[in-house]
Every structure is written in C-alpha cells, then in structure tokens.
Amino acid sequence: MPTWKSRGLRGSTLEELINRTNERYNELSLALIQKIPTPITPIQIDKSTRHITLAYFEQKSTVDYIGVVQGIPVCFDAKECAAETFALENIHPHQVEFMKTFEKQDGIAFFLIYYTGLNEFYYLPFRKLCEFWERAEKGGRKSFRHDELSEEYVIKSPGENGLLIPYLDALQKDLDAR
C-alpha cells in the first residue's frame, strides 16, 4: 500500500497555483471549486513538531478538485509531466470510471497538466483522455505525446485579474465543442 513518504509532495506547487486560481475565481463570483483531500491514517508523528512523518491512504482518491462553474458541475485532476510524453499509468482506472460517471450526470471532467519542461499548462478534455485510454486498452501506446494535443487547449499563464492558471477559457472551448 502506498504511503505518504513514497508519494512525496509531487504536484504540490501545481496544486498551490490551482488553489490560488480557484480562490480568485470565487472572489470574482465565477466559480466555486474545492480541493478534495485524500483521507490518510497517520502511522508516525514527529512529537516535537506534531507533523505526520508516515501515513497510509485510507481509500482510493477520485479527483483532486470538484465544484461548480456558473451552474455547471466540474471535476478535474491536476498532473505534472517532466517529459513531452505523458504516461497513462499516472491516471488510475477508478479515476477514469469516476469521471465517466460524473459526465453521465451532465458534469464536465478534465485534467490540468503542467508540462514542467515546457513551462506550459494544458487543459485536457476528458473525452480526449478517453481516446488515449481506449487506445492503450486495445494494445496501443500506454502514453500520449504532447504533439498529439490540440494547441487550442494550451492555457496562457498568468491571465488577467490575478489568475495564475486561467483554465475557464479552456473550459468554455470544451463546452463549445460538445
């Protein structure tokens, strides 16, 4: 079973940028998006600092964020990628199932990917992820390349109004494409 130490703090900077963006969207009355904490059970606690030093995850997480944008339910997961190839093993089958079910209920699911080597934020519509996922299930590539993605979903950062990762423009493109 994975533990807190084995996961490190991967993605913590990305999540902090998203959290700040979500706070700003809330201040502007554009969206209410909340970070979903992953339930953990502490195993070791440093008594001097009261910090958890070892823990295990109680259950599988679904997505990182969930909320509503102007009456539209949304959920998304944040991922970082150092290379220009994104391995699908970074996405778990239970996350894909959750997002499929979420979209069946008229919600919008997507991924925000930060390509660290390119210093680029990307909005990946769930339907596009499904294409890559199905390709892998049929024996094809178990990853997707950056050059397979549409440039229209690149997020220009920073945006106006103090938005660090202004992903709502890409969400609107996603909605328009449906």
Q: Binding site: what residues are annotated?
A: 62, 64, 77, 95
Rounded Cα–Cα distance for residues 22 and 28 (Å)? 10
Which residues line the annotated binding site for Mg(2+)? 62, 64, 77, 95
Q: Which residues contact 151 (CB under 8 A, 6 or more apart)?
A: none
Beta strands in 23-71 (DSSP E): 31-35, 40-46, 51-57, 65-69
Q: Which residues of 24-63 are buried (b: 16+ CB within 10 A; e: fewer)?
A: bbeeeeebebeeeeeeeeeeeeeeeeeeeeebeeeeebbb
Is 111 in contact with 76 (CB distance < 8 Å)? yes
Distance CA 73, CA 66 (A): 8
